[in-house]
Homo-oligomer: A and B are copies of this chain.
Amino acid sequence: MPVSPVDSPTDLRATAAAVAARVETAMHADLDLALAGCDPLLTEVLHYALFNGGKRIRPLLTVLSARCCGRDDDRLYLLAAAFEYLHVATLIHDDVIDRAPRRRGLDTVATRFGLAAAILAGDWLHARSMHLIGRLTGAEGLEVFCRATSSMVNGEFEQLRLVGDLEAGEEEYFKVIRQKTGNLIGSACVLGALFAGADDQRQRALATYGDHIGTAFQVVDDLLDFRGDQQATGKQTGNDFAEGKITLPLLHTLARATPEERHTLAALYAGDRSSEAAYRQLVALIEHHDGFTSTADVARQLIETAIASLAPFEQVDETQASVGLLRDLAGYILTRTR
């Protein structure tokens, strides 16, 4: 394999794989320690939930952020693992809430091990993740992390309230996804910086970066729900509509629709949302108003802002490779297909 130039997409993939491997090693070691003498079922459930080919994007962000700020040692991968724990805890509980039988082609924890195991394993991971954050970044880090987890829960509540509400505006939409994803991705970056002893300016820069790529991630999710390749995403398209979720392509379309079309959209959301015909009618309306194109434009703008926020790191020669990888990662979020 030819050596790839620094900051190339190949380099991002190689770095992501290497970081994921170290994070997984850290998770295995931490679980061995934390689960010594514990119930074998708890151990089995946690391993099932954690080691299933996850992309480990959150840990990668923590690692790259710390590297940008000049620190890279073994403890960093344990800190990064804490973000994967929280992420997986969230997925497990989300699947319980959504009563989802499968996730990305595999049985969910609740399907495989039952409701009690799913709720308890999520709680365990949540606790362990905060435990590690507190130990590795002190009260200041815990504060950042807990603000992000509280905001995540609040975002979920606001989202519940918005289900099927076609009067919700873009402002409310962005508030929800920023709380659900942006803040937490931002905190994965900020804690990497904090761990590396970065100053306020660099912490804020990485917070902005993380917040914007996290928000872009959700916007792209909205698009993939309509246009994703089922093989690649492991998800059916049209789920958001079936659940009555208000997403950005819909909001853009509503803003441009004639009164009559708005009436049609309202009827579609109030009607049988599992109907294939209703879904096709919705897609046609969004396409007619370029809702997918303009949603993709929003994602692109968010990614541009994220990349611009990395400016404070431009002058430091020895961390240019990591800054470049953060840029590439932002770009990947825009073009991802799963």
Contact = CB atoms under 8 A, between A and B. Distances in A.
Closest 7 A/B residue pairs (Cβ): A131-B146, A39-B157, A134-B142, A42-B157, A124-B153, A97-B116, A127-B149
Contacts of A134: 130, 134, 139, 142-143, 146
B150 A127 contact: yes
Interface in A175-225: none
Contact of A157 (B120, B135, B142, B153): B120
Nearest to A156: B120
Contact of A131 (B120, B122, B143, B160): B143
Contact of A123 (B34, B93, B116, B158): B93
Nearest to A151: B38
Contacts of A156: 116, 120
A123 B126 contact: yes
A interface: dominant SS: helix
A120 B152 CA distance: 9
Q: How large is the interface on A (under 10, 10 to 19, 20 to 34, 35 or more residues)?
A: 35 or more
Q: How many copies does the complex hold?
A: 2
A128 interface: yes
A41 interface: yes
A220 to B, nearest CB: 24
A278 interface: no
A142 B131 contact: yes
Interface in A298-331: none
A142 B135 CA distance: 8
B41 A157 contact: yes
A135 B142 CA distance: 8
